[in-house]
């Protein structure tokens, strides 16, 4: 069973930075699909970034150039470095584990989720 625990959320002013972390256990170290999603109140869950085996990385257009996803295999920890944050980035952020062959930014392909961490960007 995959277990995911997020940390690192908080409040920041526009233009600021935050780094989210997700302690992941129970997933394959050889063929993995780990992703970050976010959900703002009243909106659907949105894929933000994904990383799969072979360093296959993809970002949502809305965060390209501002967010960086990375995986520390030695620590079994997934990260999301978020720079130049905007008010529209305000949301609950979740990490998720999916199946390598079906790795996408569509939440429907994920069965294992963390509890979420809140990010608020406001002046």
Residues 9-68 pLDDT 10s: 999 999 999 999 999 988 777 788 999 999 999 999 999 999 998 889 999 999 999 999
Beta bridge partners of 13: none
Q: What is the pLDDT of residue 1?
A: 81
Q: What is the pLDDT of residue 89?
A: 98
Q: What is the pLDDT of residue 106?
A: 94
Rounded to 5 degrees, φ, ψ at 109 are -90, 10
Beta bridge partners of 50: 35, 58
Distance CA 43, CA 8 (A): 22
Q: What is the pLDDT of residue 28?
A: 75
Is residue 86 within 8 A of residue 62, CB to CB? The reply is no
């Amino acid at each position: 069973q995959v277990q995911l625990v997020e940390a690192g959320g908080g409040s920041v002013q526009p233009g600021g930075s935050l780094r989210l972390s997700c302690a992941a256990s129970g997933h394959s170290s050889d063929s993995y699909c780990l992703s970050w999603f976010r959900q703002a109140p009243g909106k659907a869950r949105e894929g933000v970034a994904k990383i799969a085996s072979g360093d296959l990385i993809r970002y949502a257009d809305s965060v390209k150039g501002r967010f960086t996803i990375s995986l520390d295999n030695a620590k079994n920890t997934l990260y999301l470095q978020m720079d130049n944050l905007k008010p529209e980035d305000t949301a609950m952020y979740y990490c998720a584990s999916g199946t390598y062959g079906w790795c996408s930014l569509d939440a429907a392909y994920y069965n294992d989720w963390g509890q979420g961490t809140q990010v608020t960007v406001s002046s």
